[in-house]
Structure 1
Amino acid sequence: MSSVAQGFTKSLAMTVLSEIGDKTFFAAAILAMRHPRRLVLAGCLSALIVMTILSALVGWAAPNLISRKWTHHITTLLFFGFGLWSLWDAFTEGGEAEELAEVEAELDADWKDKNGATKDSKKADDDLKKQRRPFFTQFFSPIFLKAFSINFFGEWGDKSQLATIGLAADENPFGVVLGGIVGQALCTTAAVIGGKSLASQISEKIVALSGGVLFIVFGIQSFLSPIES
């Protein structure tokens, strides 16, 4: 089993390069402009931490279900595949401007729908809020749940989730979880604090190129490393 430090370093680098300029990054930035930042940050980070832990658990369990040899080969192919995928994204048309506009349009539509429904049931909601405890209202508000659900389901089946599973199958799962959580915290905090202006200034092409090179380097290292029994 690889060291914790190696798993941490790989996971941190992979997470940062995968999450910067991602849809969930843009969503966190836009939500933070419309709602209290602490609730948005808490909801986004909670979802991403849960997703990281679940992904690492799947990767950790994989060698117990499939032979170590096959998980090693699958992980190597995943790294090369994600590397080529990222490089393809970097050189194809479209980019952060289109993705930012798409996420903003989706959130705008949802926000308008929710606002319309809220006006009709405002009195009923006020009565219910009076009966809730401050602790519950503060930490499990609709804003928290919205930020949580957008990030959790936005990451489900995403490249970063699959890469985390592959890393945990080939590296120290504890290091992978730590690196993933630190990386998610850095990216999400930057998105929430920096807001839309920071998100719109990020060059997705450079990030995709860097991520593609990183994944290919991981693939080469995995290909050359011996298979542990």
Structure 2
Amino acid sequence: MGGFLAALVISFGVIFVAELGDKSQLMALTFATRFRMMPVLIGITVATAVVHLVSVAVGYGLGAALPTGWISLVAALAFVAFGFWTLRGDTLTDDERTKAERTTRSAIVAVAVSFFLAELGDKTMLATITLATQHGWLGTWIGSTVGMVAADALAIVVGRQLGRHLPERAVRYGAAALFFVFGAWLLVESLTELL
């Protein structure tokens, strides 16, 4: 197997497995209960492609990790804010609801920013850095990005099904709880790194 193909296949497999049960897969499920599937998938893909490009650049070029403690702290605070925003709930008029369903830009941005912040310093980023030190950067970047998006797409499908079968109040409280859990998780990670 050639260098590019080996990097692609190995990176896909490692990152797909590492992503199963990871907090970002749970985030994908949460966002899928609030937004349409395509904007969530696009946001995840954009964030993942950028984070993994940084990862392979660090792993392949520098061989060093980024300082992630402060980034994790900012992400933790953002997730707590998302949790309160979700609990507060939003009421839309019929006209606003129609516009929200048509407009995908805000959903894409919200998902992309959240995933970008959550993935900085995450195990999949560190795994991608490690893979890039051993394999070519292009195959590692493509394989790791596709592996993560594929694993998160599974969560999106599950999230969409839950959103159709659960009452809106249960979805809102569940999503808020998950955002609080993500915030706490990132806070613990950031404090562990900073202290």
TM-score band w.r.t. shorter chain: 0.5 to 0.7
Query: In structure 2, do the counterparts of structure 1 residues 53 and 187 end up closer, same or farther at CA, with 3 Å as the change threshold?
Result: same
1:155 paired to 2:119? yes
List structure 1 segments (4+ residues) > 3 angstroms apart after TM superposition. Answer: 104-108
Paired residues, what number? 145
Equivalent runs, 1:5-154 vs 2, <5 Å: 5-62=5-62, 108-113=83-88, 115=89, 138-141=103-106, 143-154=107-118
Secondary structure in structure 1 of the residue aligned to 2:125: helix
Cα deviation, residue 197, structure 1? 7.0
Which protein is bigger by CA-based radius of gyration? 1
What fraction of aligned residue pairs are identical, expressed as a percent? 26
Partner SS for 2:21:
coil
Shift of 1:160: 1.1
Deviations 1:99-125 (A, max 9, x none): xxxxx9985433134x46x88xx9xxx
State the match for 1:213 in structure 2.
none
Mapped to 1, the partners of 2:118 and 2:157 lie a distance apart of 20
Q: For the residues of structure 1 that align with 2:44 and 2:128, how far apart are their CA atoms?
A: 18
For normalisation by structure 2, the TM-score amounts to 0.62
> What letter corresponds to residue 38 of structure 1 in structure 2?
M
Partner Cα distance (1:176, 1:169) in 2 = 10
Contact 1:49–1:184 (CA under 8 A) maintained in structure 2: no
Matched position secondary structure for 2:52 = helix
Partner of 2:150: 186
Do the aligned residues in 2 keep the contact of 1:56 with 1:177 (CA within 8 Å)?
yes
| Cα contact 1:24–1:150 (8 A) shared by 2 | no
SS of match in other structure, 1:21: coil
Q: Where in structure 2 are there 5+ consecutive unaligned residues?
A: 66-78, 163-195
Are residues 28 and 51 of structure 1, via their aligned partners in 2, closer, same or farther at CA, if it must alter by over 3 Å? same
Q: Distance in 1 between matches of 2:119 and 2:10?
A: 19
**RMSD of equivalent CA atoms:** 3.4
**Alpha-carbon distance in structure 2 between the residues aligned to 1:27 and 1:169:** 28
